[in-house]
Amino acid sequence: MPEKLSFELSREGRIGYSLPESNLQEPDIEKLVPGRFIRKTRARLPELSEIETIRHFIALSVMNHHVDKAFYPLGSCTMKYNPKINEDISRLPGFANVHPKCEDNLAQGALKLMHELSNYLSEISGMAATTLQPAAGAHGELTGLMMIRAYHENQGNTRKTILIPDSAHGTNPASVTISGYEAIEIKSNADGLVDLDDLKAHLNEDTAALMLTNPNTLGFFEIQSKAISELIHKTGALLYMDGANLNALLGIVRPGDLGFDVLHFNLHKTFSTPHGGGGPGSGPVGVSSKLIDFLPNPEITLHDGLFKLSNTHPKSVGKVATFYGNFAVFVKAYSYIRMLGSEGLSQVSQNAIINANYLLSQLKESFDFPYSTPAMHEFVLSGTRQREKGVKTMDIAKRLLDFGFHAPTTYFPLIVREAIMVEPTETEAKQTLDSFIEALKRIAREVDEEPDIVRSAPTATPVSRLDDVKAAKLSDYRFSF
C-alpha cells in the first residue's frame, strides 16, 4: 500500500508539540513585518502529531532503496556504505557554522583542514598539486579541460580535439563539448582496453589530450597506461585521468606515477560522502607540475603559520566554485582519510577488488562474461544468453528488486550487449555477496523455467513496473498548494 501524502493524513488542529500558554502580551505583527509580506489566508500545511510525522517519513524512507537498507551494487557509482562518524564530524558546530565570508584569521581550522586534504589527495594520487574547488566529477572534468586549454594556448597553439575511449562515462564527451573541444572516440580492443592502433590512427598535432578512465568502466586496469603516456606526450598532448574509480587504486598505484597530467577525484564516491540524491558532491582536480600555473585561484597557502586564501597562480583559469567548494564534503573526506590512514586506504581498494572478483567468479557461469581480462573493483556481465530466451537485462534488473536488492547499472557501458554492470564496493560482507549471488542464479534459472515471472517483475515493491517514458516526463510534476 503506497503511503498517503502528508496532506491526506492531515487532521485539522493536530500539532507536533505544545507549549505552555504565554503570559506575555502578543506583539503586533504589523509592527514587526511590512504589511505586504503578511499572509491574508493561512498556509495550507499538513497538520500532524509528532509520531504521525515520524512514521510518515520513515514509511517513505523505506519505500525507496538506499544503502542503509540493503545492498546497492550500482556499477560505476560506488554506492558504498559511508561510516556515520564522518557525518557527525562534518556537523561539529565549528565546521557546520563557519561562514564562508569569515575572515581568514577566524577560520584557521577550516583552512588548515582544506590545505591538508588537498595535500593528502596529491600524495594519494601522485599529483603535484590539487584544487578542491569543483563541485562534482563532471565539474572537475570541465576544470581539468579548461586547464588543458590554457596550457596549450600559453604555448601558442590551439589544439582542437580530445580523444576518449568508447567505454567512457557520458560526462567525458559532454565536458569536452562544453569546453569547446571536439570529442573523438577511440575503440576498445578485445580485452576491453584501449586499442593502441586506433589511438595512433587518431593521434595528431590537433590532439589536446586523451581522457582515460582507469580502471575503465568495464572494471579493467589500463595496463598500457605507460605506453599510452609516452605516445601522448611525444605529440605534446596531455593525459587526463577520470578518477571516479579511484576506490580500486588507493595505496596500490598512483596515477601521477603513470604519467597522468590531470586527474579528477569524486569525493562522493571514494571518500565517504553518500550520494545518489543529486549532491552535494565534490570533484577535486590534481595536476602534474606542468599545469600548476593554471590551477583555479584562490588556493590555500601557509605563510608565517597563517593559512590564507591567495591568488597564487599567475595564469589561473579563474575561480570555478562559489566560495571554495563544498566544505562539508571536505570534512568527511578528511576524517575518512585520517581515520583509515595509509594502511586502511589500501585495504579499501583490496577489499573492493576481492569483493568484485568473488562475485564475478560465482556468476560467470550463469551469465556471459565477454572478456578474459582480470577485473578490478567492478565488472560487466552480458545478458545475451537470457535475451535470446526472450528476457531482457531490464527484466533481470527489475526482478532483483523483488529480492530486496538495488539493480546493477544496466545497458552501460554501451560496448557490451545487454550489459549488467556490478560494483559490490568494499564495504559488503561475504554473506551479503552470497545472497546476491543466490538471487541472480535463481533469476537465471527462472529465465529457463518460468520467464514470465522475470518479465513481469517487480511485484514485491511499493509500485510495480513503471512506464519509463512517462516516469521521466512526470519528473517535473509539481504539487500545487
Ligand X SMILES: *Cc1c(COP(=O)(O)O)cnc(C)c1O
Residues that bind ligand X (CB under 6 A): 76, 136-138, 169, 171, 213, 217, 242, 244, 266, 281, 283
Query: Do 99 and 249 touch, CB atoms closer than 8 A?
Result: no
Minimum CB separation of residue 108 from ligand X in Å reads 30
Query: Do 181 and 240 touch, CB atoms closer than 8 A?
Result: no
Minimum CB separation of residue 242 from ligand X in Å reads 5
Q: 303: which strand partners?
A: 306
Phi, psi dihedral angles at 380 (to 5 degrees): -120, 115
Minimum CB separation of residue 413 from ligand X in Å reads 10
Nearer to ligand X, 141 or 446 (CB): 141
> What grid cell was written down for 379?
565488472
Region of 446 please: left (phi>0), alpha (psi -120 to 50) or beta: alpha
Nearer to ligand X, 272 or 386 (CB): 272
Nearer to ligand X, 326 or 386 (CB): 326
Nearer to ligand X, 279 or 462 (CB): 279
Q: What angle do CA 78, 323, 79 make, to 5 degrees?
A: 10
Minimum CB separation of residue 138 from ligand X in Å reads 3
| 431 alpha-carbon distance from chain centroid | 26
Nearer to ligand X, 185 or 206 (CB): 185
Minimum CB separation of residue 141 from ligand X in Å reads 7
> What grid cell was written down for 110?
577550516
Looking up cell 551479503 gives: 432
Minimum CB separation of residue 275 from ligand X in Å reads 8
3-class secondary-structure state, position 285? strand
3-class secondary-structure state, position 130? strand
3-class secondary-structure state, position 292? helix
Nearer to ligand X, 114 or 263 (CB): 263
**Longest distance between any two alpha carbons in the chain, whole Å:** 84
Residue type, 147: M
Nearer to ligand X, 82 or 217 (CB): 217
Minimum CB separation of residue 281 from ligand X in Å reads 5
Eight-class DSSP state of 119: H
Nearer to ligand X, 281 or 408 (CB): 281
Minimum CB separation of residue 157 from ligand X in Å reads 28
Minimum CB separation of residue 432 from ligand X in Å reads 22
Strands (E), 199-258: 207-213, 238-242
List the one residue out of 135, 349, 120 whose CA is nearest residue 251. 349
Looking up cell 601522448 gives: 232
Minimum CB separation of residue 316 from ligand X in Å reads 22
Nearer to ligand X, 217 or 393 (CB): 217
Nearer to ligand X, 261 or 378 (CB): 378
The residue sitting closest to ligand X, measured at its beta carbon, is 137
Which residue pairs, CB below 8 angstroms and at least 24 apart, start in 84-90? 85/335, 85/339, 86/272, 86/331, 86/332, 86/335, 86/336, 86/339, 87/332, 89/331, 89/332, 89/335, 90/328, 90/329, 90/331, 90/332, 90/335
